[in-house]
Chain A
Amino acid sequence: MSWLALLISIPAVGAAVVVWLTRKSQARAWFASLGFAALQFCVTLAVVLMFDSSRGANFQFYEHTPWLPSIGAEFSVGVDGLGLMSLLLAAVVVPFAIAMIDPKTRRPGTMSAWMLLLQSTLVGNFVSLNFVMWFLFWELALIPAFFLVRGWGGPMRAKAAVRFFMYTMAGSALMLAGMAAVYAAAGTFHLPSLATLIKGVTLSSKITALLGGNGVWASCVFFAVLIGVAVKVPLYPLHGWLPATYSEAAPPVTMILTGVMSKMGVIGMLRVVGPLFPDQIRIHAPILMWIAALGILASAWTALAQRDLRRMLAFSSINHLGWSLLAIFAAWSVTNPGVNGAAALNGAMLQIFNHGITAATLFACLALLERRSTDQGGIDSFGGLRAVMPVFSGLWGIALFASIGLPGLNGFISEFLMVQGSFAFSPWATAVAAVSLLLTAVFLLGFWQKVFHGPLNPRWATMPDLTSTERLVIAPTLVLMVLLGVCPQLLLKWLNPVSEYLLSLTQ
């Protein structure tokens, strides 16, 4: 069995075992799921160590077997630097989220089993190189995600789960329709092969040959696929499912949704939309960049008015991933973008990991706070907590400033590269989006001031600081933040060849 298939199956098998264990004891099942997540982490680490970063953007651990030739389905897996980074992200965030499940919650074992299943589908999506398989995992991921949102969280969770499911499903339907046209035109669903079409008889000319319409149909197909992917990220006006979902779901669930699942969208942009439709992105880049930039600004600005911490972080997530989209559109906005295009793509990819661990940590901190209080994240009901919880506030503070983009922590490098890359191709849109960097500081520090600074609210005078277990759970991602802030080369040595490859396609 290959390594990547193993990585897909370990959590799936784990989920089955854990569900079986829940019949006896939920607590024991939860503990077992932590074990499976840890095993997954170790195997991922082994794959990371075996990965040869000198081989550039070539897919490693590559496997290719025909599956259902009639619909172009193949079992085709492999990882490049981007895939490897996504695997690592999932392997870090999922055990983190499982560890953050409140033991007092209802059926923690079942929850962790769903999380493992979700991880399996996400990993499947990250390593798939055939669209059918990729799309299968993309859709399959919705099922555990739906049950996770539906099963645990706030009073409106059922409604939020349905909205989440239906909204993303609608996007997926559009994408499927678009990709059906792609298959009809090109005759393959193998993503790397589709990408290389750019160099010869292009995909858009094939679509035009099939459907006619002088490029109009090619653009329609592009937008269908783009919208399907953009809903998942999400791109600002397509984010309607997100605030309710992130704020109704239990924080550990949101950790995975924002930390890993939303990244399927960004990776989809880089794996599917960008390489298949570079011409269409270039044609529509001015408008796409402005949509992304205004979305970045609007989401940060909306976050400013939120009194509920979960919703604030939800809009902050839209903002941070919006930057990725802006940078991706910018990188494909000209045919030969040079080093600024590389900066844009590297920044966008690095942002996947950075936002993943930072957002997950922020939601984890939120979970720890909610565990200690009866309030559901209303920021006005606290005050002065730093006096009683110095360690907690210090650790949360690190994640907070990483999210603000403080240099020395991970968020800065990706942010800087994305601003650099986007500015080179769309200075005004980037300048507008850059205002959100200020707004992010305003609302995050505003929240910080309300919750941690000022006189201590006597109601929370006895709130306990973090236990040593909690410190241990939250520490790894914080260490990663500092490490990547000082030494971004750790990830960029994987990502830079990928960006070089992606940009070489259009030259």
Chain B
Amino acid sequence: MSSFVQYLWLIPLLPLVAAGINAVLPTDARRAAMGLTIATMAASFLISVVAFFKVADGGRLCHNFDWFSLGGGHVRLGWLLDPLSAAMLMMVTFVGTCIFVYSVAYMAHDARQKQFFTFLSLFAAAMLGLIISNSLLLLFMCWEVVGLASYLLIGFWFEKPSAAAACKKAFITTRIGDIGFLLGIVWLAKENGALLFFDNGAGFLEQGALEHLNGLAVGGISAATAIGLLLFCGAMGKSGQVPLHVWLPDAMEGPTPVSALIHAATMVAAGVFLIGRVHPLMTTESLSVVAGIGACTAVIAALIGIAQNDIKRILAYSTVSQLGYMMLALGVGGLGAGIFHLITHGFFKALLFLGAGSIIHGCNDQQDIRAMGGLHGPMRKTFLTYAVGMMALSGFPLLFSGFWSKEAILHAAHSTVGSHLPFYAGLIGAVLTAFYMTRLMSLVFFGTYRGDAEHPPHESPRLMTLPLQVLAVFAIALGFLGTPAWPWFTTWIEGRETHFQFGHLFHLETLGLMIVSTLAVAAGVWLGWRLYFQRLRLTPDETDPLQIVVPRVFYHLEHRLWFDEFYEKTLIAGTRRVAEWLTLVEQGVWVGGIWAAAQISIGFSWLSRCYDEWLINDGFDKSCDSLRGSGKEIADAHRQRLPFTLRTIGAAILVLLAITCIWFGKGGAR
């Protein structure tokens, strides 16, 4: 068994090799690059399937190795295969392959297609490496490379100033969280030594280390809590949790397959994965913070999503909101529920994004939903698959995966011993999600086409619709892995046994929650139906119906609750001001100090010169002059026969002067 896990690195290595080869291929070798990227990803998927069956019955396999020597020992890294990583591997490789295939058609007209696939391969390698890491250090390294790939792909159309700004913003915003992450890692290294998750009892997720970390108190909280919160900073950045969510909507500047793969299905889920991975380390205190942030994110992002008009941005805010759901689930202790939602969301959100790409493609690069409409006719396949995605995301009862994963989250939030606020946040989020998705569906697919009449919308090529259909099937089917009657997925992730018990569906609490969440969805859909479907938009310029109902609220939501403006005015302006101030200090003090020192030393040299030339030399000359003068006077006086006393005094002065002169003369010479 362990021999297999030793070769787990093949899964990230294959895409990495593809990235390396693609990087040196000539620019016009598009077919080779595409073929290589898709083939390696598909091969990684096959290995992932094998890996999945190795741990399909639970259990954990790991393999550690020395990386470099440090002090008396070694820094070690390792690979880990457990249900969590197996599930992620399957999702990432499968969704990835679908998206890669889709990209072949979507990017067909781009001149730098080869480079695009190079970056995609690099991303896949880093993401898969992140998943199989058995070391927080290795995970962090892959995490950062994922950030690089995200930077390169968001800025793929770097000629656009907005894309150039967005990729920088994404990298830097996530790096804010990563500083916390890094400090968490080094703190853990200080307290625990090793950074391996599992290492035959010596890993930090195992009993001994956890007890040690829980026992250490730091300023009122345990070290485990503090470290957990620092690691959560990293997860907040990567998974777009409020207040670090601002980069994700802007990241939509990247090509749509990138948004689907990285900013919806896989990379943004890395933060959730991280918290899932280190879940044993998370204490009640740190989990309550996770739940609180997750709940805020779920509601705030869904609210903002209501008032957006760019189809990709709506989905981006929806992603942020759903990531909040996942964090909320982990925070209330529903590890399995959170990861289950991560997986189902990966499929249906990829579906929605690829569908959006298909719509954008069909509407001649139009992204504003106000200028769409009536697409259900000309884009039949896209419409049907999109409808599946929409219903999965909104949580339509029974048939769709999103319903079951959201139900699991609500169940976890409801049965938690802590605060029930996250549960209510989840319900509000469900209403809002159903509402904005109904709005989106109404505006895009129904009514009349409001775009350019000379270029009517058209269905996308088969290479693009096929991945949509595949993903749609999974957006439905996956739900049945985690129903209350047979919660195989959640218990598998949490390492528990499960049996099929149909009766569990009819437990009072379960049934009640299902009804409540169905009502929430129905409320959202009903509101959206009333506002948008019954009064279908006729021109792109009409005022939004919601804006008529609640103009002030809509105004703030439309401006994304001013997060960006707030940061611009405070953090960014402040940073800039300090930088300018430090430049002044640089010129004034550190360089000015040299200047001052130089002036002072010049001053001293001048003084010393004066001393030499004026006091010493001149003094000597003057005294010599006076000596000569006085000698003459004495001679004259002598001639006038002065009294003896005067003569004696004169002689004494002369001697004194001579002594002084000699003394000073020596001083001057010295």
Which residues of A pack against B, CB within 8 Å? 163, 166-167, 237, 239-241, 243-244, 298, 301-302, 304-306, 338-343, 346, 384, 386-387, 390, 394, 401, 406-408, 412-413, 416-417, 419-420, 423-424, 427, 430-431, 434-435, 437-439, 441-442, 445-446, 448-449, 452-456, 488-489, 492-493, 496, 499-500
Instruction: Establish whether residues B161 and A419, one from each chain, have CB atoms under 8 Å apart when the complex forms.
Output: no
Within the assembled complex, what's the spacing in Å between the Cα atoms of A492 and B189? Answer: 19
Subset of 15 A-B contacts with CB under 8 Å? A237-B590, A301-B575, A302-B582, A305-B582, A306-B583, A342-B70, A342-B71, A406-B144, A424-B186, A430-B183, A430-B186, A435-B179, A438-B176, A453-B163, A496-B69
Q: How many residues does chain B have at the interface if contact means C-beta atoms less than 8 Å apart?
A: 53
Within the assembled complex, what's the spacing in Å between the Cα atoms of A489 and B65? Answer: 13
Instruction: Establish whether residues A423 and B183, one from each chain, have CB atoms under 8 Å apart when the complex forms.
Output: yes
Q: Which of B46-54, B165-173, B204-212, B644-652 lies on the face that meets chain A?
A: B165-173
Instruction: Establish whether residues A339 and B158, one from each chain, have CB atoms under 8 Å apart when the complex forms.
Output: no
Within the assembled complex, what's the spacing in Å between the Cα atoms of A455 and B159? Answer: 5
Instruction: Establish whether residues B186 and A419, one from each chain, have CB atoms under 8 Å apart when the complex forms.
Output: yes
CB distance from B544 to the nearest CB of A (A): 33
Instruction: Establish whether residues B159 and A449, one from each chain, have CB atoms under 8 Å apart when the complex forms.
Output: no
Instruction: Establish whether residues A434 and B141, one from each chain, have CB atoms under 8 Å apart when the complex forms.
Output: no
Instruction: Establish whether residues A434 and B179, one from each chain, have CB atoms under 8 Å apart when the complex forms.
Output: yes
Q: Pick the residue among A163, A435, A453, A489 that contacts B158 (CB under 8 A).
A: A453
CB-CB contacts of B128-151 with A at 8 A, as 1s and 0s? 000000000100111011001000
**Chain B residue, CB-CB nearest to A492:** B68
A-B residue pairs, 6 tightest by C-beta: A407-B141, A342-B71, A453-B164, A305-B579, A304-B579, A339-B71
Within the assembled complex, what's the spacing in Å between the Cα atoms of A380 and B158? Answer: 17
- Which residues of chain B come closer than 8 Å to A305, judged between CB atoms? 576, 579-580, 582-583
CB distance from B111 to the nearest CB of A (A): 10
**Chain A residue, CB-CB nearest to B193:** A339
**Quick check: is B216 within 8 A (CB to CB) of the other chain?**
no
Contact A445 to B586, CB < 8 A, known contacts A423-B186, A492-B70: no
- Which residues of chain B come closer than 8 Å to A416, judged between CB atoms? 137, 182, 186
CB distance from A20 to the nearest CB of B (A): 38
- Which residues of chain A come closer than 8 Å to B159, judged between CB atoms? 384, 387, 453-456
**Chain A residue, CB-CB nearest to B593:** A240
**Quick check: is B155 within 8 A (CB to CB) of the other chain?**
yes
**Quick check: is B529 within 8 A (CB to CB) of the other chain?**
no
Contact A489 to B155, CB < 8 A, known contacts A304-B576, A407-B140: no
Instruction: Establish whether residues B158 and A240, one from each chain, have CB atoms under 8 Å apart when the complex forms.
Output: no
Instruction: Establish whether residues B594 and A438, one from each chain, have CB atoms under 8 Å apart when the complex forms.
Output: no
Near A by CB (< 8 A), chain B positions 580-605 give: 580, 582-583, 586, 590-591, 593-594, 598
Contact A301 to B578, CB < 8 A, known contacts A452-B158, A492-B70, A500-B71: yes
- Which residues of chain B come closer than 8 Å to A452, judged between CB atoms? 158
Near A by CB (< 8 A), chain B positions 496-546 give: none
Within the assembled complex, what's the spacing in Å between the Cα atoms of A351 and B344? Answer: 44
Instruction: Establish whether residues A343 and B583, one from each chain, have CB atoms under 8 Å apart when the complex forms.
Output: no
Instruction: Establish whether residues B168 and A446, one from each chain, have CB atoms under 8 Å apart when the complex forms.
Output: yes
Within the assembled complex, what's the spacing in Å between the Cα atoms of A386 and B164? Answer: 11
**Chain B residue, CB-CB nearest to A446:** B168
Instruction: Establish whether residues A437 and B594, one from each chain, have CB atoms under 8 Å apart when the complex forms.
Output: no
- Which residues of chain B come closer than 8 Å to A341, judged between CB atoms? 71
- Which residues of chain B come closer than 8 Å to A500, judged between CB atoms? 71-72
CB distance from A412 to the nearest CB of B (A): 7
Instruction: Establish whether residues B190 and A424, one from each chain, have CB atoms under 8 Å apart when the complex forms.
Output: yes
CB distance from B491 to the nearest CB of A (A): 35
Instruction: Establish whether residues A492 and B69, one from each chain, have CB atoms under 8 Å apart when the complex forms.
Output: yes
- Which residues of chain A come closer than 8 Å to B187, judged between CB atoms? 423, 427
**Quick check: is B76 within 8 A (CB to CB) of the other chain?**
no
Within the assembled complex, what's the spacing in Å between the Cα atoms of A304 and B573? Answer: 12
Which residues of B pack against A, CB within 8 Å? 23, 27, 67-73, 115, 137, 140-142, 144-145, 148, 155, 158-161, 163-165, 167-168, 171-172, 175-176, 179, 182-183, 185-187, 189-190, 193, 575-576, 578-580, 582-583, 586, 590-591, 593-594, 598
Contact A496 to B172, CB < 8 A, known contacts A239-B590, A412-B141: no
Given A241-B594, A437-B179, A496-B70, 20 extra CB contacts under 8 A:
A240-B590, A301-B575, A406-B148, A407-B141, A407-B142, A413-B68, A423-B190, A430-B186, A431-B183, A437-B175, A441-B172, A453-B158, A453-B159, A453-B167, A454-B161, A455-B161, A456-B159, A493-B68, A496-B69, A496-B71
Contact A343 to B70, CB < 8 A, known contacts A434-B182, A455-B161: yes
Chain A CB within 10 A, most for which of B71, B115, B176, B593: B71
Q: Pick the residue among A163, A339, A401, A424 that contacts B148 (CB under 8 A).
A: A401
Q: Pick the residue among A237, A456, A489 that contacts B68 (CB under 8 A).
A: A489
Contact A454 to B164, CB < 8 A, known contacts A302-B586, A427-B187, A438-B179: yes
Instruction: Establish whether residues A442 and B186, one from each chain, have CB atoms under 8 Å apart when the complex forms.
Output: no
Instruction: Establish whether residues B594 and A453, one from each chain, have CB atoms under 8 Å apart when the complex forms.
Output: no
**Chain B residue, CB-CB nearest to A236:** B590
CB distance from B164 to the nearest CB of A (A): 4
Contact A449 to B168, CB < 8 A, known contacts A240-B590, A305-B582: yes
Instruction: Establish whether residues B594 and A408, one from each chain, have CB atoms under 8 Å apart when the complex forms.
Output: no
**Chain B residue, CB-CB nearest to A448:** B168
Contact A438 to B172, CB < 8 A, known contacts A163-B594, A237-B590, A339-B70: yes
Within the assembled complex, what's the spacing in Å between the Cα atoms of A371 and B186? Answer: 43
Within the assembled complex, what's the spacing in Å between the Cα atoms of A340 and B67? Answer: 17
- Which residues of chain B come closer than 8 Å to A301, judged between CB atoms? 575, 578-579, 582
Instruction: Establish whether residues B591 and A442, one from each chain, have CB atoms under 8 Å apart when the complex forms.
Output: no
**Chain A residue, CB-CB nearest to B592:** A240
Instruction: Establish whether residues A445 and B168, one from each chain, have CB atoms under 8 Å apart when the complex forms.
Output: yes
Q: Pick the residue among A339, A390, A445 that contacts B72 (CB under 8 A).
A: A339
Q: Pick the residue among A390, A401, A408, A441 that contacts B141 (CB under 8 A).
A: A408
Instruction: Establish whether residues A298 and B582, one from each chain, have CB atoms under 8 Å apart when the complex forms.
Output: yes
- Which residues of chain A come closer than 8 Å to B27, judged between CB atoms? 390
CB distance from A380 to the nearest CB of B (A): 14
**Chain A residue, CB-CB nearest to B27:** A390
Within the assembled complex, what's the spacing in Å between the Cα atoms of A286 and B579? Answer: 26
- Which residues of chain A come closer than 8 Å to B141, judged between CB atoms? 407-408, 412
- Which residues of chain B come closer than 8 Å to A406, judged between CB atoms? 144-145, 148
Instruction: Establish whether residues B190 and A340, one from each chain, have CB atoms under 8 Å apart when the complex forms.
Output: yes
Within the assembled complex, what's the spacing in Å between the Cα atoms of A488 and B179? Answer: 22
Within the assembled complex, what's the spacing in Å between the Cα atoms of A481 and B99? Answer: 32
Chain A CB within 10 A, most for which of B137, B186, B187, B576: B186
- Which residues of chain A come closer than 8 Å to B575, judged between CB atoms? 301, 304, 439, 442
Within the assembled complex, what's the spacing in Å between the Cα atoms of A455 and B186? Answer: 41
Contact A243 to B71, CB < 8 A, known contacts A305-B580, A423-B186: no
Chain A CB within 10 A, most for which of B142, B175, B176, B580: B175
- Which residues of chain A come closer than 8 Å to B591, judged between CB atoms? 240, 243-244
**Chain B residue, CB-CB nearest to A244:** B591
CB distance from A471 to the nearest CB of B (A): 12
- Which residues of chain A come closer than 8 Å to B72, judged between CB atoms? 339, 342, 500
**Chain B residue, CB-CB nearest to A450:** B164
Instruction: Establish whether residues B71 and A302, one from each chain, have CB atoms under 8 Å apart when the complex forms.
Output: no
**Chain B residue, CB-CB nearest to A493:** B69
Within the assembled complex, what's the spacing in Å between the Cα atoms of A342 and B71? Answer: 5
Q: Pick the residue among A163, A434, A492 that contacts B183 (CB under 8 A).
A: A434
- Which residues of chain A come closer than 8 Å to B586, judged between CB atoms? 243, 302
Within the assembled complex, what's the spacing in Å between the Cα atoms of A445 and B268? Answer: 21
Instruction: Establish whether residues B182 and A437, one from each chain, have CB atoms under 8 Å apart when the complex forms.
Output: yes
Within the assembled complex, what's the spacing in Å between the Cα atoms of A493 and B67? Answer: 11
- Which residues of chain A come closer than 8 Å to B160, judged between CB atoms? 454
- Which residues of chain A come closer than 8 Å to B68, judged between CB atoms? 413, 488-489, 492-493, 496
- Which residues of chain A come closer than 8 Å to B182, judged between CB atoms? 416, 419, 434, 437
Chain B CB within 10 A, most for which of A346, A408, A439: A408
Within the assembled complex, what's the spacing in Å between the Cα atoms of A427 and B187? Answer: 8
- Which residues of chain A come closer than 8 Å to B167, judged between CB atoms? 453
- Which residues of chain B come closer than 8 Å to A419, judged between CB atoms? 182-183, 186
Q: Pick the residue among A237, A306, A338 that contacts B71 (CB under 8 A).
A: A338
